[in-house]
Amino acid sequence: MAVKEVLRMGHPLLLQVAEPVAEFNTSALDALIADMFDTMAVRNGAGLAAPQIGVSRRVVIFGVEHNPRYPEAEPVPTTVLINPVIEVIGDEDDEMWEGCLSVPGMRGLVRRPTCVRYSGFDQHGQRFEREAHGFHARVVQHECDHLDGILYPYRIEDLRLFGFEDEVLKAVAD
Ligand code: NI
């Protein structure tokens, strides 16, 4: 398939609420998912949402084995998640320096719930449900935000904790 251009913050499509997928096992859906995996791999993404490659549909992918952009992150299973629903479990939350392929070169400190239950459909229209915590839960929430037109900078509580990746990571390490 193909590595696609990743739209950057400021592109109006990233602000749209994406449409649900109505039909599974179509060549269009299969091609979209293949393009998303190719694009995520080339950019070392932990996840990607369809609107980021210009397709306003409720499709996200994610997965981490070892990711140079997030060297400390625990593994996340490689997943296709379509028409997702997220439910927060408990009242714990935590903070992490998030990045996004649509906001290249930047990081921001974002607070999110630590544990979630998510459900949706896989590539073949099979419904599934999982519980996730930590980095896995964070990636799911970040990617699903894209489907509602939300980019992580909108969730930063203190904009002083938003900056260029190399500066931020150097400051955190000091
Ligand atoms: Ni993102």
Q: Are 35 and 53 in contact (CB under 8 A)?
A: yes
Supply the mean pLDDT for the chain.
Answer: 96
What share of the chain has pLDDT > 70, as a percent? 100
Residues serving a catalytic function are 143
- Whether 173 shows a pLDDT value over 90: the answer reads no
- Sole residue written with tokens 């997965």: 63
Q: How far is the CA of 143 from the centre of ligand 1 (A)?
A: 6
How many angstroms does the Cα of residue 48 sit away from the middle of ligand 1? Answer: 6
- Residue 122 C-alpha from the chain's centroid: 16
Is residue 22 over pLDDT 80?
A: yes
Q: What is the pLDDT of residue 172?
A: 85
pLDDT in tens, 60-70: 999 998 888 88
Residue whose entry in the numeric block shows the structure tokens 């419904």: 127
Domain boundaries, the chain: 12-173
Q: What are the angstrom distances between the C-alpha of 16 and each of 10, 13, 31, 46?
A: 12, 5, 22, 22
Instruction: Indicate the class that CATH gives domain 12-173.
Output: alpha beta
CA of 158 to the centre of ligand 1 (A): 19
Give the type of residue at 13: L
User: For residue range 152-164, what is the model confidence (pLDDT) as tens digits?
Assistant: 999 999 999 999 9
Tell me how far the alpha carbon of residue 100 lies from the centroid of ligand 1, in angstroms: 4
